[in-house]
A and B are shown apart, each in its own frame.
Chain A
Amino acid sequence: MNPIVETAEQAKQNPEYLKALKELLYQLADDDLLISFRGAEWLGLAPHVEEDVAYSSITQNTMGHAVMYYNLLEELGDGKADDLAHGRKVEERRNGTYLEKRNGEGKYLEDPYYDWALAVVRNFFYETFKKTKLEAIANSSYQPLAYVARKVLMEHPYHLAHWKLWIQQLQSSTEEAKNKIKQRVLEAWEEFGDVLELGTLATDMRKHHLITIGEEELLDRWQKEITEVLLDVPNATLGKRYGSGRNGEHTADLVQALDTLAEVYNSDKSAAW
C-alpha cells in the first residue's frame, strides 16, 4: 500500500510521482474540457428545447469538473488554471482524439449541420468511460485528486443516465435512427481506442497508486458496461485511427476547437476579468 500524499507540497518532493500525477491530471482535465467544448457548440441546436436545457446543464457541470483538475495543476505549480485551459499548444494536449472531433458538417455560426447520433454515441461512450476511470481514482494516493473524483462521481450519474436513455431509445426507434446510431458506433469503434489509454507514464501511475487499475482492466470494465446497453457491438478490436491523444497526437479538429475556445483569451492575455 502506497503512502497517502495529502498536499501539493508533498507531491512535489518526488519528481517521478509529480510527473505521473500531472500527466494523469492533464488527461482528466483536457478530456472534460474538449467534450464540454463540443457540447457547448450544440447550444440552441439540440433536437428540442428540453434537450437544450439538459445538454447545456451537463456541459456546464462538466466544464466545472475540468476546472477542478486545472486547479489541482495550478496548486502543483504548473501555472494558472485559465492559462492551462486556454494557452497550451496542441501537442501539449492530452485529451483522447475522438473527443476533439467536430460535431458534424458546417460551423456553429454557419450552417451547423451537426449530427445528433454522433453526440449521443460520443457522450454515452465518454460518460461510461469517465465513470470507470474515476472509480479507479477515488482511492488515488493523491488525496486532493481522490476527493475530486468522489465529488464528480456524485454528480455524474445524472449525466450518464441521460445519454444511456438516448441511446436506448434511438436503438429501438425508426430504421433511420437505428442505422445512424449503428454507423456512429462503428466509427467510434475505430477512433475511441486512445481515450482508454493512460499514456507513456501508465506504469508510474500504477506504481504510485495514482490510479488503482491499469489500461487492460479499464478497457474491460468499459467494454462490459457498453455491451450491456448497445444492441450491436462491433466484432473488432477498438482502434485509434488518429493516433494517441495521450501522447500529444491530435487532428486539425483540435486546432479549430482551441482557436474558437481561446479566441477571447488570445485577444488580450493580460486582461483582468
Chain B
Amino acid sequence: MREEKDLIEELYSVLKTVDDPELPSVSVYDLGMVHEVRIDSGQVNIQMVPTFAGCPALDFIELNVKKAIEELDWVEACNVKFTLEIQWSTDSITEKGKEELKKHGIAPPPENYRPGDEWTVNCPYCESDYTSMENVFGPTACRSILYCSACRNPFEAMKPVVKPLPTNY
C-alpha cells in the first residue's frame, strides 16, 4: 500500500502535464490554478481556481484534468470543482510557468504589482524594454498585445490581475 503523500505527489505530477488549451506547454499547475488535491479512498477531488471569469477554456480544462487523473490505474473517479473562495491573481503563476509563457511569445505579468501602478514589459524574445502597448486587450481576456521596437516583433503579455487597493474586504 502506497502512502497518501506519494499518491498526492503523483497527482501533482500529472497536473503538471495538463496544459491550458490556449497556452500549450503551460500547465494548469504552473498557471496557479490548482488549489487543493484530496484523496478519499479511490476518489480524487480537485479544487481549482479560475483565472478570468469569462474564460471559455474553463470547461475544457475541467474535462482535461479529469481525463488525465482518471488514467492513473488506482483512481476510480476524479471530481474537478472550480472554487471562487480564493481569487486567482497573476502572482500565482510559478517561475516555470513564466518561462513557458515566454516561449509562447507571452511576457509574464509583473511581480509585486500594485493596482494603478505603471508597469514595463520586457520583450519575451530579446528582453528589451523598448516596447509599447498596442492594446490592453488581446486574443484572450488575460492577455494584452504589445510591440518590441528593438527586435521589431509583435508579442503578448499577461496583464496583471490583483486585488484592488484600498479595500475593506
Residues of A within 8 A of B (CB): 50, 53-54, 57-58, 60-65, 67-68, 138-139, 144, 146-148, 150-155, 157-158, 161-162
Q: Is B141 an interface residue (CB 8 A)?
A: yes
B168 contact set on A, CB distance < 8 A: 138-139
Residues of B within 8 A of A (CB): 50, 52-56, 84-85, 87, 89, 115, 134-141, 145, 159, 161-164, 167-169
B56 contact set on A, CB distance < 8 A: 60
A53 contact set on B, CB distance < 8 A: 135, 137-139, 145
Interface of A is mostly: helix
Contacts A154-B89, A154-B161; A146 near B169 (Cβ below 8 A)? yes
Compute how far the CA of A234 lies from the CA of B66 in the bound complex, rounded to whole angstroms: 55
Compute how far the CA of A237 lies from the CA of B27 in the bound complex, rounded to whole angstroms: 53
| Count of A-B contacts judged by CB separation below 8 Å | 76
Compute how far the CA of A146 lies from the CA of B162 in the bound complex, rounded to whole angstroms: 17
A50 (CB) vs chain B CBs: closest residue: B135
Q: Is A57 a contact partner of B169 (Cβ separation < 8 A)? A: no
B136 contact set on A, CB distance < 8 A: 54, 158, 161-162
Q: Is B87 a contact partner of A63 (Cβ separation < 8 A)? A: no
Q: Is A57 a contact partner of B53 (Cβ separation < 8 A)? A: no
Q: Is A154 a contact partner of B87 (Cβ separation < 8 A)? A: yes
The one of A50, A61, A62, A147 that contacts B134, using a Cβ cutoff of 8 Å: A50
Compute how far the CA of A98 lies from the CA of B164 in the bound complex, rounded to whole angstroms: 28
The one of A62, A138, A148, A161 that contacts B54, using a Cβ cutoff of 8 Å: A62
Q: How far is the CB of A216 from chain B (nearest CB, A)?
A: 20
B90 (CB) vs chain A CBs: closest residue: A154
Q: How far is the CB of A137 from chain B (nearest CB, A)?
A: 10
Contacts A50-B134, A60-B54; A151 near B87 (Cβ below 8 A)? yes
Q: Is A138 a contact partner of B169 (Cβ separation < 8 A)? A: yes
Contacts A50-B135, A147-B87, A154-B87; A61 near B169 (Cβ below 8 A)? no
B164 contact set on A, CB distance < 8 A: 153-154, 157
Compute how far the CA of A50 lies from the CA of B115 in the bound complex, rounded to whole angstroms: 24
B139 (CB) vs chain A CBs: closest residue: A53
A139 contact set on B, CB distance < 8 A: 168-169
Q: How far is the CB of B110 from chain A (nearest CB, A)?
A: 15
Q: Is B52 a contact partner of A54 (Cβ separation < 8 A)? A: no
B89 contact set on A, CB distance < 8 A: 154
Q: Is B87 a contact partner of A150 (Cβ separation < 8 A)? A: yes
Q: How far is the CB of B144 from chain A (nearest CB, A)?
A: 9
The one of B84, B161, B167 that contacts A147, using a Cβ cutoff of 8 Å: B84
B167 contact set on A, CB distance < 8 A: 138
Contacts A57-B141, A58-B137, A162-B136; A155 near B84 (Cβ below 8 A)? no
Q: How far is the CB of B128 from chain A (nearest CB, A)?
A: 23
Contacts A147-B87, A153-B164; A64 near B52 (Cβ below 8 A)? yes
Compute how far the CA of A62 lies from the CA of B55 in the bound complex, rounded to whole angstroms: 10
Contacts A68-B53, A157-B164; A151 near B84 (Cβ below 8 A)? yes
A58 (CB) vs chain B CBs: closest residue: B137
B53 contact set on A, CB distance < 8 A: 61, 64-65, 67-68, 151-152, 155
Q: Is B169 a contact partner of A155 (Cβ separation < 8 A)? A: no
Q: How far is the CB of B21 from chain A (nearest CB, A)?
A: 16
A150 contact set on B, CB distance < 8 A: 87, 163, 169
B135 contact set on A, CB distance < 8 A: 50, 53-54
Q: Is B87 a contact partner of A158 (Cβ separation < 8 A)? A: no
Compute how far the CA of A64 lies from the CA of B138 in the bound complex, rounded to whole angstroms: 17
Interface centre among B87, B134, B168 (most CB of A within 10 A): B87
Q: How far is the CB of A36 from chain B (nearest CB, A)?
A: 9
Q: Is B84 a contact partner of A148 (Cβ separation < 8 A)? A: yes
Compute how far the CA of A138 lies from the CA of B87 in the bound complex, rounded to whole angstroms: 12
Give 7 nearest A-B pairs by CB, closest first. A64-B54, A61-B54, A54-B137, A57-B137, A147-B84, A64-B53, A138-B169
A147 contact set on B, CB distance < 8 A: 84-85, 87
Compute how far the CA of A144 lies from the CA of B82 in the bound complex, rounded to whole angstroms: 12
